[in-house]
Amino acid sequence: MDTLARVGTVVFDKTGTLTRGEFEVTSVHPDDFDETELLHLAAHVEHFSTHPIGEALRTAFPNEATHGCKITDVEEIAGHGIRANVSGCTVCVGNSKMMDAIGVKWNNCHSIGTIIHVAVDGKYVGHVVINDRLKDDSAQAVKSLKRLGVDHMVMLTGDRKEVAFDVAKKLGLDTCYAELMPADKVRYVEQLLATKTENKTLAFVGDGINDAPVLKRADIGIAMGGLGSDAAIEAADVVLMTDEPSRVVDAIKISKKTMTIVKQNIIFAISIKLIVLILSAIGISNMWQAVFADVGVSILAILNALRALYLSLIHIS
Residues catalogued as catalytic: 13
Helix (H, G, I), strand (E, B) or coil at 214: helix
In sequence order, what are the residues at sequence separation of 6 or more whose Cβ sits closer than 8 angstroms to the Cβ of residue 270? none
d(CA 66, CA 73): 21
- Cβ atoms of residues 279 and 292 within 8 Å: no
DSSP state of 199: T
Alpha helices by DSSP H, the chain: 2-5, 35-45, 52-60, 96-101, 138-147, 161-171, 182-195, 212-217, 230-235, 246-281, 287-291, 297-316
